[in-house]
Amino acid sequence: MKGPSVDCDVVIVGAGLVGLALAPALVRCGLSVALVDRASVKTPEPPAVGGSWDARVYAISPGSAAFLRAIGAWQQVPCDRIAPVESMRIEGDTGARLDFSAYDLGERALAWIVEERALRSALVPLVRSAGVAVHAPCAFESLTFDRDRGRLRCADGSSLSARLVVGADGLRSRVREAAGIAAATKPYGQTAVVANFSCERAHRGRALQWFHADGGILAWLPLPGRRVSIVWSAPDALARELLDLPAETLAARVAACGRHALGMFETITPGAGFPLQCQKLPTVVAHRLALVGDAAHGVHPLAGQGVNLGFGDADVLSAVLAARGPVADPGLPLLMERYARRRAEPVFAMQTVTDALARLFGLTSPWVRSARNVGMAALDGLPRVKRLLAQSALR
């Protein structure tokens, strides 16, 4: 049965955080926007006072916070659900250290730790108030392109057409597949185990990260109060073991692997696992198509930059379309090439650095272990180089 047909300037497929942020940003560019997702797009229920915490949190960089503030979302995130990262210590597997300080960089924070739920609660009402046409739940069956438009046909018989289709539908993007863009995927043989804990001692806004001899990487991220969120990028076998542990045993294991830097732990949210892979694409644009977020790239979480790269995509794409001048058509090749060119360098740099570090610390040769830790210690003694690295990640 043929359903209603909708025509607009831009169709965004995928209502994750990046798609939700991009939609109102494009409306501000004077474009009519539709948002499609297979799941309902709803504002999450707010937690009770002192209540539950999301297992999934994000380290929002100052650059991403500035973008979210510009579209009106950052101001809506409750202050009591945000924790600033004011300093960070990274330790190698033989004791080398690397320290970063927001104060030394002239920043309020290196990042802000925010729950997925809090960000979604700020973005969904913004999407509604901006006048974005939301089609959800709505699973699409096919995507085709002709000279002037991309045409999306949905399982309920409805269809949408737009001069630009944006794929924001994640690592296994169906939009990317429909456009014939093949992703090169390399599994790391690791699973990110995430969970939240209360801790005995105050973290004082400091994030901690350890590179372990087995190639695993454990990060503690500060949450409001005496709480932390952890991301343990563990070899798959270890990850399965961790996810099977009782809550009390998992808390003790995490505290011990962090050398009890914050005392004893108590589990707030159970562990969840996410397989890790590096994903690279030959291009993030095609005819009448742009990819953003995880649909455009996949990176190791050791630098916490996955969602920031996605918000960077949304920021640049909206800026390119806002500056299109008298050009009415947002899907013209000139604009798509401009977007791809501006995103190529930062994405390549982040993928290269995170992939190299993850694989370097996965090597077990004694001389490699010694060399990488000597290098880390040497870098800590080069403040100008550290500042350059940090500033790139912050923005």
Whether pLDDT at 371 is above 50: yes
Ramachandran angles phi, psi of 234, nearest 5°: -110, 145
C-alpha torsion angle, residues 387, 390, 392, 394 (rounded to 10) = -130
Q: Does residue 201 come out as left (phi exceeding 0), alpha (psi in the -120 to 50 range) or beta?
A: beta
Q: Please write the tens of the pLDDT for every residue from 134-147.
A: 999 998 889 999 99
Alpha helices in the chain (DSSP H): 17-27, 62-70, 102-105, 116-129, 174-178, 236-243, 247-257, 306-322, 333-360, 366-380, 383-394
Mean pLDDT of the chain: 91
In this prediction, residue 1 carries a pLDDT of 46
Identify which has the larger pLDDT, 120 or 389: 120
- Can you tell me the mean pLDDT for 20-36? 97
Lowest mean pLDDT among 211-215, 340-344, 350-354, 382-386: 382-386
Which residue do the tokens 């360098």 mark? 345
Whether pLDDT at 271 is above 90: yes
Whether pLDDT at 387 is above 80: no
Confidence band of 393 (pLDDT split at 50, 70, 90) = low
Taking the model in full, what pTM does it have?
Answer: 0.92
267 in Cβ contact with 255 (< 8 Å): no
Which own/partner pairs from 202-205 qualify as long-range (CB within 8 Å, at least 24 positions apart)?
A: 202/226, 202/262, 203/228, 203/262, 204/86, 204/87, 205/83, 205/84, 205/85, 205/86, 205/87, 205/109
Burial class of residue 274 in the structure, from the number of CB atoms within 10 Å of its CB (0-12 exposed, 13-18 middle, 19+ buried): middle
- Can you tell me the mean pLDDT for 107-124? 95
Nearest to 374 by CA among 93, 99, 90, 96: 96
Identity of the highest mean pLDDT range in 88-102, 257-271, 292-306: 257-271
The DSSP output letter for 181 is P
Whether pLDDT at 382 is above 80: no
C-alpha to C-alpha distances, 206 to 89, 109, 276, 376, nearest whole angstrom: 8, 10, 25, 19
390 in Cβ contact with 99 (< 8 Å): no
Whether pLDDT at 6 is above 90: no
Q: How far apart are CA 358 and CA 300, in angstroms?
A: 7
Half-sphere exposure in the Cβ direction for 128 (13 Å, CA): 9
Whether pLDDT at 303 is above 60: yes
Domains of the chain: 5-46+121-184+279-358 (3.50.50.60), 63-115+188-277+367-394 (3.30.9.10)
Lowest mean pLDDT among 12-21, 234-243, 287-296, 300-309: 300-309
Confidence band of 3 (pLDDT split at 50, 70, 90) = low
Whether pLDDT at 104 is above 60: yes
Q: How far apart are CA 169 and CA 157, in angstroms?
A: 20
In this prediction, residue 385 carries a pLDDT of 65
Q: Which two tokens stand for residue 56?
A: 């999934």
